[in-house]
Chain A
Amino acid sequence: MPKWGMAVDLDTCTGCGACVTACHAENNISTVGPEQAARGRAKHWLRVERYWEGEFPDVRLKFRPVMCQQCDAAPCEPVCPTYASHHTEEGLNAQVYNRCIGTRYCANACPYNTRFFDFFNPAWDKPLQLQLNPDVSLREVGVMEKCTFCVQRIKATQIQAAAESREIKDGDIQTACAQSCPSKALVFGDLSDPESHVSRLARSGRGSKLLEDLGTFPNVNYLNRQVEA
């Protein structure tokens, strides 16, 4: 049984944002427009955060891509009244849109702010809708959405591998963000396979987790920037 996880190498991430756009393209995330974006309703399942340190001229800036951490002890799961947010055996925090009734308690509970509410039914100026990914649901008004670790790609690869009677190798499944990253800072894979790339990165001395002290047990490992000796 695989356990899906990701690693983000902050030493390699350049902050370019390609991952964010790739996620929008892959997951049919509708563009909300400037007025709604001003109200905080833009749905960036994956965002790049920036942290400034110091003052000019001794100033530093660090980038950090943040997505749903698919926590083992996800605070968004116990608060969902309809089991729309729950944990799967493969380690994903599932968001089942048809169960969701939009209480938004999960977003309230999530310490990483990675859950987004659909304030509107999706609309695209024609013919932008031709770009939509048929493997990903269109979310209607009133449901929560978030990063799924590209579950559609996981499922498609699993079905394909079963059809061809073969095992899934490390690297067969790539999330859209990891695939697009020009410097290959994002890595997705099976944490239960000790030899997978993501597992090896998880064992790195530079690794840490976000808000670890909250006890959420996230499954995304962040490898800190290496400091020069």
Chain B
Amino acid sequence: MDRRTFIKLTAVTGTTATLASCGSPENQLIRFIPAEDITPGVATWKPGVCVMCSAGCGLTVRVMDADADVVRDGKAGVVRIMAAKKLEGAPAHPLNQGGLCVRGQAAIQVTYHPDRITQPLKRSGNRGEGRYEAITWDAALTELLGQLDKLAAAGNTKAVATVVRSGFSQRRAIIDEFLKRFGAPGPVVYDLFGDDVLRRANAMSFGREQLPTFDIGNSRHVLSFGADFLGTWNSPVAQSAGYGRMRQGRPGLRGSFVQVEARMSQTGANADEWVPVTPGTEGVLALGLARAIITANLRPAAAAGRAGALIDGWASGLGSYTPEEVQKATGVSPQRLERLARQFAESTPSVAIVGGPPLAHTNGLFTALAVNALNALVGSVGQPGGLHFTPQPIAARPLASSSLQALSVQLLAGGAGAPQVLLLDGANPIFTAPRAWKVRDAFDKAPFIVSFGSFLDETSAMADLILPDHSFLESWVDAVPESGSVQATASVAGPVMRPLYETRSTPDVLLEVGRRLAKPLSPALPWQTYDAMLAASFAALPAPAGGTDAWTDAQTKGVWTGTLPASLTAPAAAVASDRAGTAVAYAPAQFDGDAGQFPMHFLPYPSIFYDGSAAHLPWLQELPDPLTSAMWSSWVEINTATAGRLGIALGDIVTITSSQGTLQAAAIVSPGIAPDVVAMPVGQGHQLFTRYASGRGQNPVELIAPVTEPSTGALAWAATRVSIVKAGPPDGRLVLFAGGMREHEETPDRGGTWGRGETG
């Protein structure tokens, strides 16, 4: 179509949109009296807490007036409200120090999302269909109370299962306390990209079952094994702030950075040296480096202490990790090994990081212990520029609970011991759990499911009752960061705007339910509201220097940071390992699928949507992916030579098959991935997740085999092998921004932008 016709059409459609308005008094909008005092055009800034991942960064929120559509007494009109307009990183927050990542910036679209659930809903269709009818809060709470009272009367309070996402907060503490006092088990924490293996390793090596904090800003050298610490892993903004300082924040001193991984991640792209290794052998490389350091007398073996003693062969000099053996296993040459070892030992303070794919193998625990030992060897633990653990208040210790896999088994088994009520708070395990765990079938067997989330997705669409939470800008919100700061930190913020809809803050709902149960909670929950609970827990903290008291100070700043008194500090975790005291040896990673039938390693990695939980935000869908510039798309990354061998070009549709299933996606040919690895971002492929993500792309989780790390039971998501074959030419599903400045009628085959840099 040419431009004239096009503009004509716009005029027509535009006209119909405005026909009814334009100043004629009969059609003037009804304006309702605002509920608050509003100065138009003047912004106020209020503290906030970002909830898009478990890092817990601090926000400062710009709040201004806006006209919101409302319907009152059947009359449609507008009312002026104070509305959040922009999220920025809180400048003085110890974690993010004024910065904010893509997900944090996009988070404001959660509050204003067109498909947000606006009131309690009761299922009116089949499970998973997504058909619901609106009900009142009274009716909804009555129903929930009915279910819980029934269980309590039958003496079966254990039959309540809860699934949450990771992240410590006082909000989580209320959920934990409610469940504990009701007599139900603690929540199942499920995160596809969870770091349970690392926590276990840290418990064994350092006595802290916790994610580590890296003082990168004071490091001289960072050696990262697979961790996307500048993108999605652990506390990315805090780590990025440190990275910026490490590189160019100290005059005359620039830190260096080496990344070890099989596929170049966004983080790896920034490395001074990028070291590809065979998947599952990162621990071998780490010990090879350790041996080289010890052999060259750069550091004594004993310096590694307990962390070293956990490694089989450490005390005797790590004889099986000679440069030749390391090369055989990893592919890293002896010269490179020697050079990397020297650099790591001599550019002090240095620190090693491990996370992501290396820990998602069956030998992930060994790899984590090896890197821990490497850190201990060079003395980086607890030192400036090294590895630390954020002091944690006791209240943040979550209840131990079972795994998602175990819950699924319980539900499928049914019978007397099976959960009768399933509570869902923010997790989407039907999307992110391996199909073999049959989570959907398991949930379907639960007699009664309640979801507290704000959106319909694969998992919440199974719920019988939806009690939508406020969005984080409309309610009290808090986070107790597990990592990201050397000092104890607790973020907290009050609502920056009034709730737009008939939603209620989930902790307040639980507190009310707790009060209205036929058989009271034992003991009763002492707080009337969530913010009363926050006030009480912050009051127990020491006041910051020059501040009045901790609670008043925290509300103004959005954060409390300082030194926790001993009475409030969580004790070091007891070493709870089935191998306590036994040294761990290298075992080659086990993969699902035989190498003949499935020759490629499959690497599903966290995308800008993280694990898909942010795929519903249109800004993120349209954001060009850092590595590929793809928007609104799924894709498979294939090594250049491999693609050439298989006859695959940019945009071609390929079929990937694992023992679990098969899917088709567009291919992107990349030089930054090993020839026997194919990678796919996790996040797209939702069957149901708002208008922006539903039915878009493919979900690589469908191919993941249920391989687990033996000690922790954590999913080894990088342990699946696949086969890949070309299925057809490009069909237009892949949308790239790079080279997309010209209009194209058909499929973008941008061709040639790879390897030649970008032009318009």
Complex contact flag A–B (Cβ < 8 Å): yes
The chain A residues found within 8 Å of chain B, CB to CB, are: 9, 11-18, 20-22, 24-26, 31-34, 37-42, 44, 47-52, 54-57, 59-63, 113, 120-121, 125-134, 141-142, 176, 179-185, 223, 226, 228
Mask, B237-268, CB within 8 Å of A = 1, is: 10011011001110000101000000010111
Residue of A nearest to B116 (CB): A127
Question: A49 touching B741 by the CB < 8 A rule?
Answer: no
Known contacts A14-B240, A179-B88: A56-B641 contact under CB 8 Å: yes
A12 to nearest B CB, angstroms?
Answer: 5
Among B167-175, B580-588, B615-623, the stretch that binds chain A is B615-623
Residue of B nearest to A43 (CB): B622
Expressed in whole angstroms, the Cα–Cα distance for A178 and B738 within the complex equals 22
Known contacts A127-B114, A141-B7: A14-B14 contact under CB 8 Å: no
Question: A37 touching B632 by the CB < 8 A rule?
Answer: yes
Expressed in whole angstroms, the Cα–Cα distance for A189 and B721 within the complex equals 51
Question: B627 touching A182 by the CB < 8 A rule?
Answer: no
Question: B264 touching A61 by the CB < 8 A rule?
Answer: yes
Question: A125 touching B741 by the CB < 8 A rule?
Answer: no
Question: B740 touching A130 by the CB < 8 A rule?
Answer: no
Residue of A nearest to B674 (CB): A56
How many A-B residue contacts, CB cutoff 8 Å?
A: 237
Residue of B nearest to A228 (CB): B272
A42 to nearest B CB, angstroms?
Answer: 6
Selected contact of B108 from candidates A25, A181, A182, CB within 8 Å:
A25
Expressed in whole angstroms, the Cα–Cα distance for A121 and B69 within the complex equals 20
Expressed in whole angstroms, the Cα–Cα distance for A60 and B631 within the complex equals 23
Question: B240 touching A180 by the CB < 8 A rule?
Answer: no
The reply on B96 being an interface residue by CB < 8 A is yes
The reply on B319 being an interface residue by CB < 8 A is no
Among B78-86, B445-453, B558-566, B699-707, the stretch that binds chain A is B78-86
Known contacts A56-B671, A180-B88: A18-B241 contact under CB 8 Å: no
A17 to nearest B CB, angstroms?
Answer: 5
Known contacts A14-B266, A42-B622: A182-B673 contact under CB 8 Å: no
Residue of A nearest to B108 (CB): A131
Question: B109 touching A128 by the CB < 8 A rule?
Answer: yes
Residue of A nearest to B105 (CB): A21
Selected contact of B69 from candidates A62, A63, A126, A134, CB within 8 Å:
A126
B647 to nearest A CB, angstroms?
Answer: 18
Expressed in whole angstroms, the Cα–Cα distance for A84 and B585 within the complex equals 69
B672 cross-chain contacts in A, Cβ below 8 A: 52, 56, 59, 61
Question: A48 touching B622 by the CB < 8 A rule?
Answer: no
A133 cross-chain contacts in B, Cβ below 8 A: 85-86
Q: Tell me the chain B residues, 54-97 only, with Cβ under 8 Å from chain A.
A: 64-66, 68-69, 81, 83-89, 96
The reply on B655 being an interface residue by CB < 8 A is no
Residue of A nearest to B67 (CB): A130
Question: A61 touching B269 by the CB < 8 A rule?
Answer: yes
Sample of 18 more A-B contacts, CB < 8 Å, known A180-B88, A182-B101: A16-B102, A17-B626, A24-B619, A38-B735, A44-B624, A47-B624, A56-B671, A60-B269, A62-B269, A127-B68, A128-B114, A131-B83, A141-B7, A176-B86, A179-B89, A182-B100, A182-B236, A184-B249
A75 to nearest B CB, angstroms?
Answer: 13
Selected contact of A56 from candidates B102, B270, B675, B738, CB within 8 Å:
B675
The reply on B371 being an interface residue by CB < 8 A is no
A179 cross-chain contacts in B, Cβ below 8 A: 88-89, 98
Mask, B710-738, CB within 8 Å of A = 1, is: 00000000000000000000001001011
Question: B99 touching A181 by the CB < 8 A rule?
Answer: yes
Offer 6 A-B interface pairs, CB within 8 angstroms, sorted by A.
A39-B743, A42-B740, A60-B269, A61-B269, A120-B10, A127-B69
The reply on B231 being an interface residue by CB < 8 A is yes
B517 cross-chain contacts in A, Cβ below 8 A: none
Expressed in whole angstroms, the Cα–Cα distance for A75 and B68 within the complex equals 42
Known contacts A56-B276, A183-B240: A113-B755 contact under CB 8 Å: no
A40 cross-chain contacts in B, Cβ below 8 A: 740-744, 748
Mask, B92-136, CB within 8 Å of A = 1, is: 000010111110111011001110000000000000000000000
Interface size class for chain B? 35 or more
Known contacts A37-B737, A42-B737, A59-B264: A126-B114 contact under CB 8 Å: yes
Question: A183 touching B99 by the CB < 8 A rule?
Answer: yes
B741 cross-chain contacts in A, Cβ below 8 A: 40, 113
Expressed in whole angstroms, the Cα–Cα distance for A77 and B425 within the complex equals 54
The reply on B41 being an interface residue by CB < 8 A is yes
Selected contact of A17 from candidates B84, B102, B114, B743, CB within 8 Å:
B102
B230 cross-chain contacts in A, Cβ below 8 A: 14, 16, 182-183
B256 cross-chain contacts in A, Cβ below 8 A: 228
Question: A16 touching B241 by the CB < 8 A rule?
Answer: no
A211 to nearest B CB, angstroms?
Answer: 11
The reply on B274 being an interface residue by CB < 8 A is yes
A54 cross-chain contacts in B, Cβ below 8 A: 671
Known contacts A14-B270, A52-B755, A125-B114: A182-B244 contact under CB 8 Å: yes
Selected contact of B626 from candidates A16, A38, A41, A130, CB within 8 Å:
A16
Question: B85 touching A50 by the CB < 8 A rule?
Answer: no
A59 cross-chain contacts in B, Cβ below 8 A: 264, 274, 671-672
A63 to nearest B CB, angstroms?
Answer: 6
Selected contact of A47 from candidates B14, B109, B737, CB within 8 Å:
B737
Expressed in whole angstroms, the Cα–Cα distance for A18 and B620 within the complex equals 10
Known contacts A121-B10, A134-B64: A20-B623 contact under CB 8 Å: yes
Question: B744 touching A38 by the CB < 8 A rule?
Answer: yes
Expressed in whole angstroms, the Cα–Cα distance for A195 and B35 within the complex equals 48
Question: A32 touching B622 by the CB < 8 A rule?
Answer: yes
Expressed in whole angstroms, the Cα–Cα distance for A54 and B671 within the complex equals 8
Question: B10 touching A141 by the CB < 8 A rule?
Answer: yes
Expressed in whole angstroms, the Cα–Cα distance for A32 and B618 within the complex equals 9
B270 cross-chain contacts in A, Cβ below 8 A: 13-15, 63
Residue of B nearest to A156 (CB): B43
Question: B14 touching A50 by the CB < 8 A rule?
Answer: no
Question: B622 touching A12 by the CB < 8 A rule?
Answer: no
Residue of B nearest to A121 (CB): B14
Known contacts A131-B84, A182-B241, A184-B244: A37-B102 contact under CB 8 Å: no
The reply on B157 being an interface residue by CB < 8 A is no
Expressed in whole angstroms, the Cα–Cα distance for A22 and B109 within the complex equals 12
Question: B109 touching A56 by the CB < 8 A rule?
Answer: no
Selected contact of A14 from candidates B243, B500, B618, CB within 8 Å:
B243
Expressed in whole angstroms, the Cα–Cα distance for A15 and B228 within the complex equals 12
A15 to nearest B CB, angstroms?
Answer: 5
The 6 closest A-B pairs by CB, nearest first: A183-B244, A182-B99, A182-B240, A34-B632, A61-B269, A125-B114
Expressed in whole angstroms, the Cα–Cα distance for A184 and B89 within the complex equals 12
Question: A50 touching B109 by the CB < 8 A rule?
Answer: no
Known contacts A51-B758, A127-B114: A20-B743 contact under CB 8 Å: no
Question: B623 touching A21 by the CB < 8 A rule?
Answer: yes
Expressed in whole angstroms, the Cα–Cα distance for A55 and B248 within the complex equals 28
Q: Which of A41, A44, A127, A185 is packed against the most chain B CB atoms within 10 Å?
A: A127
Question: B622 touching A127 by the CB < 8 A rule?
Answer: no
Question: A14 touching B755 by the CB < 8 A rule?
Answer: no
B758 cross-chain contacts in A, Cβ below 8 A: 49-51
